[in-house]
Structure 1
Amino acid sequence: MRILWYGHAAFLIETEGRRIILDPYTSADAGSYAPIAEPADLVVASHENARYHSGLSEIVPPFESLMATAFPPEGVEALGLRFEAIPVFETPEKLPGDEVTILHFRAEGLHVAFLGDLGHALSPDELARLGRPDILLFPAGGPPTIDFPLIPPLVEALAPRLILPMHYLTPKINLKLQPVKRFLDTLPDWPVDRPGSSSITVDADRLGPRRIVVLDSAR
């Protein structure tokens, strides 16, 4: 499995011959990230927000698209994979209008979880539904997504083997977020790799000990 970080919360996951894009931004509205402008077999958005998370206009058609907030409890099958969504909220207050989702799926013997715009601790029921992912795509910039004191207990509960930070302050985003260092400081016992590239290839048989990999944005 190859995972590429375009920037902000947008990823390309290449698995079993498929190209899956998660939470694409719209470049003109999100800051100075360049357009994704690539083909996809499937685009999955964690919630409706064309500016930062569900921007389809710059992806090269044709492609299938899914909106996770509309998933039934059992999930949705696409391209031979089952995508499941856990309804959560962007803010701790859990107010109407703050609804987002956690996305997760399995491929190549790997369980991948994308936390999207999660903004609060998870309940025991939500933790049980998510299970223990191998790969965790984590919003690392603090409020309006999950605040820093809540990060260590969430990571401990989920026990991933690989964390890829996203949704944090870079020179290219126009949101008031914190830099990735604030996230790394909350997990001082986790080894950190900076490969100097925008992608990582993951093999279930050679995933190795736990680590955080900080990717460069591809856009």
Structure 2
Amino acid sequence: MTRVATVCLLALASLAACLAASAPARAQQAERCPKLVASSPFLQPLGPRALPAAYLEPRQVSLAYIGHSTFLIETAGGVTVTTDYNDYVRPDVVPRVATMNRAHSTHYSLNPDPGIEYVLKGWREDRDPVRYDLEVGDLWIGNLPTNIRDMQGGTIRNGNSIFIFRAADICIAHLGHLHHTLTVDDLAVLGRIDVVLAPVDGSYTLDVDGMIEVLKALEAPVVIPMHYFNESTLNRFLDRLAGSQYAVERRESPQVVFSRETLPAKPTVIVLPASRYQ
């Protein structure tokens, strides 16, 4: 064998070793939410309207429960999002991003504040699936279309979206007005989810058993209940979880700050009081 051939073989062997060593890193990247996005930097230059949130560390994200299905998400870079933005339950601030779903008027607005930069509807009128892949400052937003029921019990295809928000390497999924369990393909698209905002009314959306099935399939470290109308409805959901792998924490503040380091080791349901009303 010539010296040149030997050098080439050694170079190929070295390249193979490097590729093998990088395989775990690529596998870890694939577990980030959601799998429909190959890769995306978590920290982007701040947009012209974003100011850093002084109370957050660089690798933290804040979530506050406003009421019903509405949350206010704020990133360390100052990007704000209101979920299921509507004309009844709103935060005090005008968010930079508003997401909506179409099930009822408490999940969308016909007159969103003109100061909102991005209004993202979780449906299309022609019932084709809507798709989002949006970077706003240090926040990434995507969605998974799902179906909903109409008033007669029929199916409106792609009438709802599960919105996914990624900031500070935390993946938050807002299930919206979910009416059915998730398929294997749905779970594959969503990938690793860290925090699930789950409707737990058990009637207008998915029934309690179905919702618990979804939550167990997602395997997120944190579940935050929403879309319940009184304490008895919430307690019915929590009672069904009794004896399961979930711990339950009730917080006094409607706001919680997450980072990768502070995610619970055991799956935990965190009950936040609404800052407005249900």
Same fold judged by TM-score > 0.5? yes
* 1:136 paired residue number: 196
Q: Which has the higher helix share?
A: 2
* 1:150 paired residue number: 210
* 1:30 paired residue number: none
* Distance in 1, Cα, partners of 2:111 & 2:103: 12
Contact 2:140 2:167 in 1 (8 A): no
Query: Please, which runs of 5 or more residues in structure 1 have no aligned partner?
Result: 28-32, 172-177
1:7-156 residue pairs with structure 2 within 5 A? Answer: 7-15=67-75, 16-27=77-88, 35-45=90-100, 47-48=101-102, 51-55=105-109, 57=111, 59=113, 61-70=115-124, 72-73=130-131, 75-80=132-137, 81-91=139-149, 95-96=155-156, 99-156=159-216
* 2:272 paired residue number: 215
Contact 2:196 2:224 in 1 (8 A): yes
One-letter amino acid of the counterpart of residue 268, structure 2: R
Percent sequence identity over matched residues? 27
Contact 1:37 1:59 in 2 (8 A): no
* Distance in 1, Cα, partners of 2:104 & 2:112: 11
Q: Alpha carbons of 1:79 and 1:183: their partners in 2 closer, same or farther (altered >3 Å)?
A: same
Q: CA RMSD in A?
A: 2.5
Query: Please, which runs of 5 or more residues in structure 2 have no aligned partner?
Result: 1-60
* Distance in 1, Cα, partners of 2:259 & 2:239: 27
One-letter amino acid of the counterpart of residue 165, structure 2: F
* Distance in 1, Cα, partners of 2:183 & 2:156: 18
Structure 1 ranges of 4+ moved more than 6 A: none
Contact 2:103 2:148 in 1 (8 A): no
Cα drift, residue 56 of structure 1: 6.4
One-letter amino acid of the counterpart of residue 21, structure 1: T
Cα drift, residue 90 of structure 1: 2.6
* Distance in 2, Cα, partners of 1:216 & 1:149: 23
Contact 1:119 1:143 in 2 (8 A): no
Cα drift, residue 11 of structure 1: 0.5
* Distance in 1, Cα, partners of 2:114 & 2:66: 15
1:188-207 residue pairs with structure 2 within 5 A? Answer: 188=242, 189=244, 190-207=246-263
Q: How many residues align?
A: 205
Cα drift, residue 6 of structure 1: 0.5
Contact 1:36 1:58 in 2 (8 A): no
One-letter amino acid of the counterpart of residue 10, structure 1: T
Q: Alpha carbons of 1:200 and 1:56: their partners in 2 closer, same or farther (altered >3 Å)?
A: farther
Contact 2:198 2:225 in 1 (8 A): yes
Cα drift, residue 8 of structure 1: 0.2
Cα drift, residue 65 of structure 1: 1.3
Q: Which has the larger radius of gyration?
A: 2
* Distance in 1, Cα, partners of 2:110 & 2:251: 29
Cα drift, residue 9 of structure 1: 0.3
Whether 2:237 is the aligned partner of 1:183: answer: yes
* Distance in 1, Cα, partners of 2:230 & 2:169: 32
Contact 1:24 1:53 in 2 (8 A): yes
* Distance in 1, Cα, partners of 2:81 & 2:212: 29
Cα drift, residue 39 of structure 1: 1.6
CA offset digits 1:84-129 (Å, max 9, x no partner): 2211123496613772111112110111111000011111111211
Cα drift, residue 182 of structure 1: 1.4
